[in-house]
Structure 1
Amino acid sequence: MPIRAILTDIEGTTSSVSFVYDVLFPYARQHLPAYLRAHADEPEVAAQLAAVRREAGEPEAELERVIAILLAWMDADRKVTPLKALQGMVWREGYRAGEIRGHVYPDAVTALHAWKQQGLGLYVYSSGSVQAQRLIFGCSDAGDLTPLFSGYFDTEVGHKRDPAAYRRILGEIGHGPDEVLFLSDVVEELDAAREAGLQTCGLAREGGELSGHRTVSGFEAIGLDAGQGSPSADHQAR
């Protein structure tokens, strides 16, 4: 079945892990406390603070306690939806101030443009919030890439190692599972997508294999035949 849509991860796939861990996370950790103290009463922020209290089981927690919880979650790299939403708000300030530029690999930029020209639907699925996804592509070092994408998904649809999340995404984008190719650098995510029926391709930018899945080192090797949207024979699963 020809590929009609691409669903891609960000960290380690379109963008470097070091950008996320060495730039984005430290920026959020440094600026989150002051941001929350300044904006805690705004509805957008207050809703996420309430979600943190529910998730932590501390409904009466004062703001400083909530900040401590969030910093602990950041240190543990917890994939918690309100944390991701609040990080996205902080990053939005950094992007707007010109203090952050989103990193996207040049080979990913080239492939995304080519696939868009071929008429493929392009979608993002990341544990980072939809807002953070739009920022990394909208304020990227390659310019505004958001016009390339037809939709964004985060942990609101479920966790990336849960096949049910991919089924929900399929319901949203309106393609059959065998028409969608999922790209990621994490075996467990690829496994979950395959269990949901999607085609998969692993990105191992430092080399190696993502066990059980077709694995390439960059977007130029994914091998979708021009105009057909189907994986080329040279890159089928080993």
Structure 2
Amino acid sequence: MIRVILTDIEGTTSSISFVHEVLFPYSAEHLEVFVREGHEDNLDIREQLDAVAATSGVSVKDIDGLIAVLQRWIREDRKETALKALQGMLWEQGYERGDFRGHVYDDAARYLKLWSERGLRLYVYSSGSVKAQKLIFGFSEAGDLTPCFSGYFDTRMGAKREPDSYHNIVAELGVAPETVLFLSDVEAELEAAEAAGLRTAWLVRDGSHPESERKVMRTFEDVDTLLRNHFPL
């Protein structure tokens, strides 16, 4: 029986366009000022810049060089933990100022609340930082959805296309892998989760039906039907 639902964000609970047309441009526009103003006094920013320097080989004293690396990583959509952490700090600023609200599909918000009320434990696993995850749900267009969730995982657990990442998550949760249902729009992530013993559901929100033998779901209502028919509570 399914006891835990682990969900991706981008393309699953939330639109890809919100991330790429709102969040990424915001971080690209405000990153330089944010880093320059905070790198001397803000320990969290300094810690992430140290990590950028270690990964890129650019001197930690070369602020111009570190900013250039970060801007390149944003353009490349690199899954670097330090970049994601800095973006999360920037997006917190944007959410708190009311510059934007987090996009969550209406059906996703409805079923996240419903599943939580039913007693399912809900977790997030996204390449965005835990801070960014909490922000998109905490400042969502549907209101504060963070009470629905029991916890959050990011790339510190490992890459989303690697089975070991899901082994790490299941070990931290302390549950049998077959009691976890992972939701994602990326088939390679589902394959990695399945290799670790998790159940999966493939959500394809937009576009034509992909050519695959895997069952495709369009909404969280479809996932709920799967739960009721195949994994009764």
TM-score above 0.5, yes or no: yes
**1:5 matched residue in structure 2:** 4
| Equivalent runs, 1:72-87 vs 2, <5 Å | 72-87=72-87
Q: Deviations over 1:117-173 (max 9, x none)?
A: 110000000000000000000000000000100000000110100110011100111
**2:97 matched residue in structure 1:** 97
How big is the shift at 1:11? 0.2
**Greater helix share, 1 or 2?**
2
Count of residue correspondences? 229
**2:38 matched residue in structure 1:** 39
**2:139 matched residue in structure 1:** 139
Contact 1:200–1:214 (CA under 8 A) maintained in structure 2: no
Go from structure 1 to structure 2 and tell me whether the alpha carbon gap of 1:137 and 1:185 turns closer, same or farther (over 3 Å shift).
same
Please give the secondary structure, in 1, of the residue aligned with 2:142: coil
Contact 2:58–2:65 (CA under 8 A) maintained in structure 1: no
**1:213 matched residue in structure 2:** 214
Q: Which letter does structure 1 place at the counterpart of 2:216?
A: T
Contact 2:185–2:204 (CA under 8 A) maintained in structure 1: yes
Contact 2:102–2:135 (CA under 8 A) maintained in structure 1: yes
Percent identity among equivalent residues?
51
Computed over aligned residues only, the root mean square deviation of the Cα atoms, in angstroms, reads 1.5
Contact 1:48–1:86 (CA under 8 A) maintained in structure 2: yes
User: Separation in 1 of the partners of 2:179 and 2:228?
Assistant: 11
Please give the secondary structure, in 1, of the residue aligned with 2:133: helix
How big is the shift at 1:100? 1.5
Q: Deviations over 1:85-144 (max 9, x none)?
A: 001111010001010200000000111111111100000000000000000000000000
Contact 2:185–2:202 (CA under 8 A) maintained in structure 1: yes
**2:120 matched residue in structure 1:** 120
Q: Which letter does structure 1 place at the counterpart of 2:114?
A: A
**1:222 matched residue in structure 2:** 223
How big is the shift at 1:60? 4.4
How big is the shift at 1:221? 0.8
How big is the shift at 1:174? 1.5
Contact 1:187–1:211 (CA under 8 A) maintained in structure 2: no
Go from structure 1 to structure 2 and tell me whether the alpha carbon gap of 1:156 and 1:5 turns closer, same or farther (over 3 Å shift).
same
Contact 2:34–2:90 (CA under 8 A) maintained in structure 1: yes
Unaligned runs of 5+ in 2: none
Go from structure 1 to structure 2 and tell me whether the alpha carbon gap of 1:210 and 1:134 turns closer, same or farther (over 3 Å shift).
farther
1:22 pairs with 2:10: no
**1:107 matched residue in structure 2:** 107
Q: Which letter does structure 2 place at the counterpart of 1:20?
A: V
User: Separation in 2 of the partners of 1:20 and 1:107?
Assistant: 19
| TM-score, with structure 1 as normaliser | 0.92
| TM-score, with structure 2 as normaliser | 0.94
Contact 1:202–1:216 (CA under 8 A) maintained in structure 2: yes
Q: Deviations over 1:193-221 (max 9, x none)?
A: 00000000000112414735332001011
